[in-house]
Amino acid sequence: MHLGVGRIGGVMSRARTHAAAEPAPSPVGVLALPLLLALSIVVVDQITKLMIDSSMRLHQSIPVVEGFINLTYVRNTGGAFSLLADAPAGLRIPLFVGVAFAAVVGLVWYLRSLPREDWLSRVACGLVLGGAVGNLVDRVLQGSVVDFVDVYVAGWHWPAFNVADSGISIGVVLLLLRSWRG
């Protein structure tokens, strides 16, 4: 926009003139980065789970960094931290699928509202979206999620997790950092 000077009825005036309005960014353009990132998380997540499922026995553990990280094949029928793992499958699976589906729809809606310049929020949402879809695929196809990263110190074990869980966790941390940064 620039200010133009002209005469209206013999009086000097300043009129605002606008350059041609920039077209609104297409939703595809705004969504490209997070969707590509989400797709990458889903692909890597599913490949790693397939590798674990095809090469390890359930509950088998292989040390990666002695005293700190093992590959341990477990199946999580519950949610985060095995929440509702003992609930009947007829309740648990539809609940988790519904929550994941709502999260996916909510994230895509939120992504469409983000400015193109807010790359940190877009990356964070892409990570969370990829993680949600990665675990959703397992729940729909198998009724449980393959977890295999076992981090522990002095006998204290963090709940086993997978690539999708990592995407969700890192994405949430990035969104929190972004919200604190303003």
Kindly name the residue from 45, 138, 150, 165 that is annotated as catalytic.
Answer: 165
Instruction: Return the structure tokens found at 30.
Output: 């705004």
- Determine the average pLDDT of the residues in 165-176: 96
H helix runs in 24-162, sequence order? 27-55, 89-113, 119-142
- pLDDT more than 70, % of the chain: 84
Say which residue, 117 or 3, is predicted with more confidence. 117
- Let me know if 147 is a catalytic residue: yes
- Let me know if 165 is a catalytic residue: yes
Nearest to 97 by CA among 125, 45, 132, 130: 132
Condensed to tens digits (0 to 9), the pLDDT of residues 118-150 reads 999 999 999 999 999 999 999 999 989 999 999
pTM for this structure? 0.80
Kindly name the residue from 45, 138, 147, 150 that is annotated as catalytic.
Answer: 147
- Determine the average pLDDT of the residues in 154-171: 95
- Domains of the chain, by residue range, sit at 25-181
Query: 3-state SS of the chain: helix, strand, coil percent to 5?
Result: 55, 20, 25
